[in-house]
Amino acid sequence: MIMTSLLGTLIGYTAIVTHLIKPARLSTPNTTPSSLIGFLGSNDSWSLLITTIIFALSVIIYRPFIAIETSEVSYEK
């Protein structure tokens, strides 16, 4: 979880510093889904793309751990 949070923050920070996306300036309601906050808050379509990229990378990072957790373990005596 630490790795995905750091990666997402780094990608978002880099996108804002390089002026690829605008920082969020508009207020969004508390019930807004977290995947849409950047898009609705900044009114910039590139924010939605960056959010999708961060989500996809997070899934790729978590995937091996989920595979290990859900794999069947056979105990032999």
- What would the DSSP string read from start to end of 17-30? HTTSSPPP-S---T
Averaged pLDDT for residues 29-51: 87
pLDDT of 63 higher than 80: yes
Beta-carbon neighbour count of residue 61 at 10 Å?
14
Contacts 24+ apart (CB under 8 A), 35-43: 38/12
pLDDT of 53 higher than 90: yes
What pLDDT is stored for residue 35 in this prediction?
A: 81
Parse the chain into domains and list their residue ranges.
33-70
What pLDDT is stored for residue 34 in this prediction?
A: 82
What pLDDT is stored for residue 16 in this prediction?
A: 92
DSSP state of 72: -
Q: What is the mean pLDDT of the chain?
A: 87
pLDDT of 75 higher than 70: no
Q: Is 19 left (phi over 0), alpha (psi -120 to 50) or beta?
A: left
